[in-house]
Amino acid sequence: MSDPIRLEIDGAVAIVTLARPEKLNALDEAMIAGLAAAVEAIEGHGGIRAAILTGEGKGFCAGGDIAAWGRLSPLEMGQGWVRNGHLVFDRLTRLRVPLVAALNGHTLGGGLELAATADFRIGEVQAKFGLPETGIGMVPGWSGTQRLVARFGAGVVRRLALVGEIVTAERALQLGLIDELAETGGALELARALCAKIAARGPVATILAKQMINAAEGEDAAAAMEILAGSLVSYTADLKEGVASFAEKRTPQFKGF
DSSP-derived 3-state class of residue 109 = coil
Secondary structure (DSSP) of 123-165: EETT-EEE--GGGGT----SSTTTHHHHHH-HHHHHIIIII--
Residues labelled catalytic: 113, 133
Phi, psi of 102 (to 5 degrees): -100, 100
- H or E element, residue 45: none
Q: Are 13 and 42 in contact (CB under 8 A)?
A: no
Whole-number Å distance between alpha carbons of 32 and 20 = 12
Secondary structure (DSSP) of 57-81: TTEEE--B-HHHHTT--HHIIIIII
